[in-house]
Amino acid sequence: MELLPIHILNSLLYASTLFLIAGGLSLIYGVMRIVNLAHGSLYALGAYVTAWTIGQLAGGAPPSTLYALLPVGAIAVAAVGAIVEPTLLRPFYQRAEEYQLLVTFGLLLILEDVMRLVWGPYPLSASQPREFLGGSTIFGSQYPNYNLLVIGLGFLVAALLWAFVYRTRFGVILRATSQNMRMASALGVNVKRVYVQAFALGCFMAGLGGAFIVPIQSAVLGMGVDALIIAFVVVVIGGLGSLEGALIGALIVGFVRTLGVILFPEIELAVLYIIAAAVLLIRPIGLFGRA
Amino acid sequence: MTTVAATSALRSLAYAIPVVLVLLVLPYIVTPYQRILMSYGLIMAIAALGFNILLGYTGLLSFGHSAYFGLGAYAVAFMVKYLHVTSMELFLLGGLIATLLVTAVFGFICVRYTRIFFAILTMALSQVLWSLAFKFFWVTGGTDGLRIPTPTILNGLVTVPKNKIAFLSHTYYYYVLIVFVVFAALMWVIVHSPFGQVLQAIRDNETRAAFLGVRVRRARWIAFMISGGFTGVAGILWAPLNGLTTPDILYWPFSGEIVFLTVLGGFGTFSGPIIGAVVFNYLKTYAVGLTVYWQLLLGAVLIVLVLALPTGIMGTLTRLTLKIKGASPK
């Protein structure tokens, strides 16, 4: 039982990265009604870009400056998003969902191989930021300070995002477009621009998730495909399109998974999918979804 | 009505008979490698036909058909490992029963929803099976998978060559071809039956179909079971051909492949998924042979396809022939 605080911290750590991935997925669905199957690969891209940048500069630069490099991955992914939305996704808003799913599936295949092409098949790690911060003793157990930082940053981003969506002018426009795209357009909102911004913001969050996690675990091929399906579980539990839902969903999944690894390791993943299926059955719009 | 159905049947046969004849003489023309490749294509065609009764005829997009393909394959592997069965016919029977049982449960849950929620729910359920196959390695072999030896055919009535390549490229090729023809004909009958018409009515206007007295959810459930059963049969046939079954065929990107090949062929037509499966199989094999970055190539093909040719190969061909026919009398 003395490990309990560590388990709780690990759950929070997992939840904070999951929130970044799933929050972006949910935001994109909420505004544009597109389920982005490539979202996990964008998270992986953020991890790769960050690991690569840190790897390039780690030798010369003082370790403390490396933290400034963490957002580089997120910005790169946001830039990719800003290119992808108008070129690939825009032609599909008026078309059936199967085409939207297929085009993002095509994007997933491409992104996975671009990462293989650029960074090769081997894991790419960047542990310097974690090592530099050292660890603290929490209730008699060692815990890396960097992990605590990520937990804090995850919740900080959640708070900033909430303020951004509910307390700024852009947030009002975003919510108006999400509720009724035609009406917003008629009132003078440049819907095309809002879509690009929303998609880039969603991508930024996914990239940030990847950037935060890469000092803890290496960037590997396939991490995006694995992450997407867990992000789906999160948004299904919380409600597609709801940011509060993504936060609660991430916390639920984070704790269930940590608990699962301790108590029922064989079926920990199955339990998550079954929870998602059960939520879909009992409350298809999710715990925080709106009809 | 009967005459319309009869002309439709005759027209379909006029296309089907030459194709089947070519497939029958194929082993005498092409190399064993090409025949094995064609067997994979025909197997995927059965899976795609099953998938398309949901997408093309009922209007439901499943992103979890890897589950039923994998169920068929793993049912065969379990029968080999735990019951020491070697008969191909018993594989088909046992595998089909196992697939149908699970499909009945999954389908009962999934058909309560449509559109995006249907897609996500089918995906979530398929991932339950994937994670079980992945984690219970002492039962399923985990990522190492389970081996499937050469089966016996018709209780030894057909002699099985000792040489594995000879078996797969000749005996098993014909076995797959026969099963394919039987199931393709069965699917043709299903979609042209009154039940098939009901499914299309649901696809086009659910509310109207319900007012006409159609029990929508039940019809969708039956379509789901037919769909899963066909895809299961494909998995059963695939297992001895591949010789090994791994959790990859249960993982969700494999479901994406099934969607991909159906859209490639064109889901608006009966023959589209068949063409799509065979073409996709060649495309993937050559892309894999050509470069390690084959996913990049396939992804690009997929995006171009949905952007430029959303009706797939068959839809585009039909439009072109109509254009030529329409232009010629002038």
pLDDT, tens digit, 9 for 90 and up, residues A166-208: 888 888 888 888 888 888 888 888 888 888 999 999 999 999 9
CATH of domain A4-282: 1.10.3470
Q: How far is it, in rounded angstroms, from Cα A232 to Cα A25?
A: 8
User: What share of chain A in percent tops pLDDT 70?
Assistant: 97
Per-domain residue ranges of chain A: 4-282
pLDDT band at B328 (very low <50, low <70, confident <90, very high): low
**Do A189 and A173 form a contact (C-beta atoms < 8 A)?**
yes
Q: How far is it, in rounded angstroms, from Cα A105 to Cα A111?
A: 10
Q: Where are the alpha helices (DSSP H) in chain A?
A: 4-32, 39-57, 70-84, 97-119, 128-133, 145-167, 169-179, 181-186, 191-213, 223-238, 243-263, 268-282
According to the model, what pLDDT value does residue B4 have?
67
A222 secondary structure, DSSP code: T
pLDDT band at A9 (very low <50, low <70, confident <90, very high): confident
Which residue of chain B comes nearest to A96, CA vs CA?
Answer: B115
How many interchain CB pairs under 8 A, A with B? 118
According to the model, what pLDDT value does residue B103 have?
93
Q: What is the pLDDT of residues B74-108, one digit of tens each?
A: 999 988 888 888 888 888 898 999 999 999 999 98
Token couple for A58? 């780690």
Q: How far is it, in rounded angstroms, from Cα B114 to Cα B118?
A: 5
pLDDT at A216 over 70: yes
Q: What is the pLDDT of residues B214-270, one digit of tens each?
A: 888 899 999 999 999 999 999 999 998 888 888 888 888 899 889 888 988 888 788
SS3 state at A126: coil
pLDDT at B49 over 90: yes
Please list, residue by residue across A210-246, b when 16 or more beta carbons sit within 10 angstroms of its beta carbon and e when fewer do: bbbbbbbebbbbebbbebbbbbbbbbbbbbbbbbebb
* Nearest-CA distance A266 → chain B (Å): 5
| Reported ipTM | 0.83
Q: How far is it, in rounded angstroms, from Cα B55 to Cα B63?
A: 10
B248 secondary structure, DSSP code: G
Q: What is the pLDDT of residues A86-138, one digit of tens each?
A: 888 888 888 877 788 888 989 998 998 899 889 888 888 887 777 777 777 77
User: What share of chain B in percent tops pLDDT 70?
Assistant: 97
Angle at B176 between CA B172 and CA B67, to 5 degrees: 115
Q: Measured between beta carbons, which residues in chain A are less than 8 angstroms from residue B296?
A: 109-110, 113-114, 117
Token couple for A123? 């894991």
Token couple for A273? 């999918």
pLDDT at A280 over 90: no
**Do A151 and A9 form a contact (C-beta atoms < 8 A)?**
yes
According to the model, what pLDDT value does residue B45 have?
93
Instruction: Looking at the structure, give the CATH architecture of the domain made up of residues B2-327.
Output: Orthogonal Bundle (1.10)
Q: Measured between beta carbons, which residues in chain A are less than 8 angstroms from residue B122?
A: none
A269 and chain B in contact, CB less than 8 A: yes
Token couple for B312? 């797939």
Question: H/E element holding A141?
Answer: strand A141-144
Q: What are phi and psi of B112, to 5 degrees?
A: -70, -15
Q: What is the pLDDT of residues A54-80, one digit of tens each?
A: 888 776 667 677 777 788 889 999 999
Q: DSSP string covering B48-72, please?
A: HHHHHIIIIII----S-THHHHHHH
Cβ contact A109–B125 (<8 Å): no
Q: How far is it, in rounded angstroms, from Cα A285 to Cα A39?
A: 21
**Do A115 and A221 form a contact (C-beta atoms < 8 A)?**
yes
Cβ contact B131–A269 (<8 Å): yes
Q: What is the pLDDT of residues B253-312, one digit of tens each?
A: 899 889 888 988 888 788 889 989 999 898 888 888 887 788 888 888 888 888 888 788
Q: Give which of B100, B71, B31, B16 is closest to B238, Cα–Cα.
A: B71
Q: What is this structure's pTM?
A: 0.86
pLDDT at B26 over 80: no
Say how many Å lie between the first and final Cα of chain A, rounded.
Answer: 42
A279 and chain B in contact, CB less than 8 A: no
Q: What is the pLDDT of residues B155-206, one digit of tens each?
A: 777 777 777 777 777 788 888 999 999 999 999 999 889 988 888 888 888 8
A98 and chain B in contact, CB less than 8 A: yes
B128 and chain A in contact, CB less than 8 A: yes
Token couple for A75? 């910005």
Match 């589950």 to its residue by tokens: B67
pLDDT band at B330 (very low <50, low <70, confident <90, very high): very low
Instruction: List beta partners, residue A137.
Output: A142
